[in-house]
Structure 1
Amino acid sequence: MADTLKPRPQYRNIHVSQIVAYRLPPAGIVSILHRVSGVLMFLLLPFVVWLFDVSVSSEVSYERFRAAFVVGVGFLPGWFLKLVVLGLIWAYLHHLIAGLRHLWMDATHAVTKEFGQQSAIGTLVLSVLITLVLAYRLFF
């Protein structure tokens, strides 16, 4: 009788070296990116406060603000500032859309594997597409 039983699967934690080879489902990718976008927004909060302060203080400071994105600030070129702002735009959009996805799943109890996969793919596509549209506006 012991010979006819199937061996039970063994579940182990993956090692750090296996992360690259591990294939996450789209919902896992969205979950990790949701955390990354939250941390990115938190870390860049002083930059956002500076952007807001400089843009609304006066007309002169607003012109300095606009010039910073053309010629840069200190040793940072203007394109780098635009790239940082684009990262913030993506972080905000992804965090917002992923958060709305989670709220929808919590409110409707729509927690099926199919819906999770489809909504995760939709979250990724939507956040990247809107970011690309705004990137075009920011750089051109």
Structure 2
Amino acid sequence: MVNMVVVSEYSLNPPADAQGRTKIAQGPLYALARVQQLAAAGSLNTWTSRCDKTVYELFAGDLEAVADLLGHLRSTDYRDSEWCTNGRNAWAACDAYALRRVEWVATASKEMGVEYFVKFAVGKTGQLLLLVSCHLS
């Protein structure tokens, strides 16, 4: 049996095993202003290898650009909260948001609506923002 560890500040009722994601009924779990403050202060880390890959693809690995994206989130962009694993025996209780904005799309040579999906958790110490997912919807 593998012991899972909770690395997020929110730690109530983690899943008993690593089978799939488990939704968390109340939410959001973290105050958006606090999340944005942590991101703007540079306290932002990618937490999964998949997230690391998509941040590199979308933003050339620039976490400041991701922090700027998080800075544009509004409470109305909130989708849900759920437990996520990083595939290395750790759980984080995450908030998920979807943000739609207009951006220049070079391949189309015009401005277009783009929707980003981001999922994150505040680390156990409260000093680090763990970016679990960041991709286009």
Same fold at TM > 0.5: no
The normalised TM-score by structure 2 is 0.27
Q: Which has the larger helix fraction?
A: 1
Q: Which has the larger strand fraction?
A: 2
> Greater relative contact order (Cα 8 A, min sep 6): structure 1 or 2?
2
The normalised TM-score by structure 1 is 0.26
